[in-house]
Structure 1
Amino acid sequence: MSIKYTADHEWVQIEADGTATVGITVHAQDALGDVVYVDLPEVGKSYAEKEVAGVVESVKAAADVYMPVDGEITAVNEDLRNDPALANTDPLKSGWFFKVKLSNPAQLDALMDSTAYDELVKNS
């Protein structure tokens, strides 16, 4: 299991079975403030890389959640839908947004590792 990051502040945890779990990063939830609502994608729907797959709304702003790679949604986090604050309190674990079956795993190579992502955040 490894974790990759997008420039749009999503994290992607790659599983051995060809699926990935997606959520927003600590930096993203810090910038948003208290999350009050999430709009999650429909299970079974396929999305292209960089297509909007959901929305996260906070007391300060709303932000799109982008699909990091091509794939089909296999699960959404109903706990997050019922308690959007999980995106703030535990963004890298229980605050995940959705799971996706990868259509093109090679796209993962274009995502950042933690060092590159930390550098991006530091310079933004």
Structure 2
Amino acid sequence: MKDINEFISSTSEPEQRARLEELFNWMNKNYPQLKIVIKWNQPMFTDHDTFIIAYSTSKKHISVAPETVTIAAFKDEIEKAGYQHTDNIIKIAWDQEIDFSLLEKMIDYNIHEKIHYTKFWRE
């Protein structure tokens, strides 16, 4: 997989593709400074070559991966939004609304917390 358009088009359901387009259009509008890289067949957004957030899909949901530290920091808000989660990912079911304000908080948190970070992942 070489780019975000290929990632979106790999989703067979038209409604799911539309949700991904909505998500990535929002990302581009609100975070144009973030660079998109494809690693492990999923789009990852980086800032100064450090990981900020990644997305992937499954049959039942969009997976949001902002790193375990960020999930822990926003655990209550994630649960209040009605999303299932593990330590590593947040699951937004295809029929759930995307809580863009929560995504914004998590992305802003990672950008701020990793402003001087020089590695891809947190240690």
Q: Same fold (TM over 0.5)?
A: no
- Relative to its length, the structure with more helix (as a share) is 2
TM normalised by structure 2 equals 0.28
TM normalised by structure 1 equals 0.28
- Relative to its length, the structure with more strand (as a share) is 1
Q: Which has the higher contact order (CA 8 A, sep 6+)?
A: 1
